Amino acid sequence: MTDVLTNNLSFWEKDTWFDQVDVAIIGSGLVGLSAAIAIKQQSPRLKVLVLERGALPSGASTKNAGFACFGSASELLDDLSKQGEELTWETVYMRWNGLRNLRELLGDAAIGYEGLGGYELFREADKDLYEASLDQLPELNRRLKEVIGKTAVFRPSNDKIGDFGFGGGAKHMILNSAEGQIHTGKMMLALTRKAQEVGVLLVHGITLTTLEQEEGGVVLVMSDGWKFKARKALLCTNGFAAQLMPQLDVVPARNQVLITQPIAGLKVNGCFHYDKGYFYLRNIDNRILIGGGRHLSPEVEQTAAFGTTELIRNALRDLLDTVFLPGVSWEEDFWWSGILGVGNSKKPLIEWVDTHIAVAVRMGGMGVAIGSLVGARGAKLISETL
């Protein structure tokens, strides 16, 4: 027996998992699983295989903060000034409908959805930004009524700063009444179960190294030399997309997260965006999750490698002590990191890159919201050709 045969697939493995594959999806995050489910729901006879390099999804979908959000007031105003009306409102529409899809597909109980609202906090140094945002609230609310069908979404709520027990670093606050939060782990477990229920094949612990188009399909080669052919392939690897396709406008962006031990008498309830959205914080029962800060060292954080840095860890600790939990005794429980996919536009890339290969990547910072819809649109691209 030569080395080259050591990792050979058995006949049974090949026949069951890798033969006659209609659609191969790379990446078992929110987008990959949503796409796989949508294809199977539309065409139950198709063989849909999802390949995932990690034992669990290993990017952002099981690592995120669980904000079910579509943009704070100042963020939407920034988007409007940088990318214009059409793209901004189209992206908001996609985020809102992505969330709706996700909630309908899995049910609020299964994903731990709670509509507690989201608040944008402004420091004294952000006074001008706060006032400019306040001026624009009527117009933002008017557009949101058209796009998501809800009235008076944004409201000033300075009176609640004290209720949450925030310290002097928080001077003003605007509520987004349509924002919610989910339990990220429950959501991904429910999505995995749904995928299995509709007959999607999931293979974990396998890294795709190349995919090459040939007559009638795509040949996919994995890190241990396994190789198979699929009629179509959909790349859902988000922050890692350029590793396989360097021509794509997607770069990785790491985000570091801290979760505290349970805190007795915690007053914080809901989702919070701070310092123009660079930091985010929420409660999970009586714990606090805080993350962000990649603007403090953008070059270091533009990486597809997991890990944490003292610089950002200290910034997050400091924010807890000075702004969010002043005078409260708290202890660290977990640190972790995840990898986002960002690019020059906040709009996801959902397109064919070759006759049989499509991509559904670049979720930006609000992939929990938009991911389900992006998966469904990726699925539609593929399904139309089968």
Ligand X SMILES: Cc1cc2nc3c(=O)[nH]c(=O)nc-3n(C[C@H](O)[C@H](O)[C@H](O)COP(=O)(O)OP(=O)(O)OC[C@H]3O[C@@H](n4cnc5c(N)ncnc54)[C@H](O)[C@@H]3O)c2cc1C
Would you count residue 101 as binding ligand X (CB under 6 A)? no
Residues 287-326 that bind ligand X (CB under 6 A): 291
Establish if 71 lies at the interface with ligand X (CB under 6 A).
no
Contacts with ligand X in 175-214 (CB under 6 A)?
A: 207-208
Residue 61 as a binder of ligand X (CB under 6 A): the answer is yes
The answer to the question of residue 340 lying near ligand X (CB under 6 A) is: yes
Q: List the interface residues with ligand X, window 26-45 (CB under 6 A).
A: 26-32
Is 257 near ligand X (CB under 6 A)?
yes
Question: How far apart, in whole angstroms, are the C-alpha atoms of residue 85 and residue 97?
Answer: 18
The reply to whether 238 sits near ligand X by the rule CB under 6 A is yes
- Range in contact with ligand X (rule: CB under 6 A) among 50-58, 120-128, 166-174, 192-200: 50-58
* Residue 54 contacts ligand X per CB under 6 A: yes
> Are the CB atoms for 78 and 91 separated by under 8 Å?
no
Beta strands in 223-331 (DSSP E): 227-235, 251-260, 271-274, 279-284, 287-292
Residue-by-residue DSSP string for 144-195: HHHHH--SS-EEE-GGGTTTTT--TT--EEEEETT-EE--HHHHHHHHHHHH
Lookup: tokens for 275: 């310092």
Taking CB under 6 A as the binding criterion, the range among 10-18, 132-140, 226-234, 335-343 that sits at the site for ligand X is: 335-343
Q: Are 372 and 34 contacting, i.e. CB atoms less than 8 angstroms apart?
A: yes
Residue 280 beta carbon to ligand X: minimum distance, rounded to whole angstroms: 6
Q: How far is the CB of 181 from ligand X (least distance, A)?
A: 8
Beta carbon nearer to ligand X, 139 or 224: 224
Task: Give CA–CA dist 133/78, Å, rounded.
Answer: 10
Q: For the chain, how far is it from start to end, CA to CA, in angstroms?
A: 40
Q: Give the interface segment with ligand X, choosing from 124-132, 151-159, 196-204, 230-238 (CB under 6 A).
A: 230-238
The residues near 283 (Cβ < 8 Å, ≥ 6 apart) are 266, 268, 269, 270, 289
- What is the token pair recorded at 55? 């034992």
> How far apart (Å, rounded) are the C-alpha atoms in residues 90 and 304?
28
- Residue 350, beta-bridge partner list: 360
Minimum distance of ligand X from residue 281's CB (angstroms): 10
By CB under 6 A, residue 97 contacts ligand X = no
Q: List the one residue from 18, 59, 218, 312 that touches ligand X (CB under 6 A).
A: 59
Binding to ligand X in span 352-371, by CB under 6 A? 363, 365-369, 371
Q: Which is nearer to ligand X, 158 or 269 (CB)?
A: 269
Identity of the residue, 134 or 221, whose beta carbon is nearer to ligand X in the bound complex: 221
Q: Is 113 in the site for ligand X (CB under 6 A)?
A: no
Determine the number of helices (DSSP H) and then strands (DSSP E) in the chain: 10, 18
Task: Please report, as ranges, the residues that interact with ligand X according to CB under 6 A.
Answer: 26-32, 51-54, 57-61, 63-67, 69, 207-208, 236-240, 244, 255, 257, 291, 338-340, 363, 365-369, 371
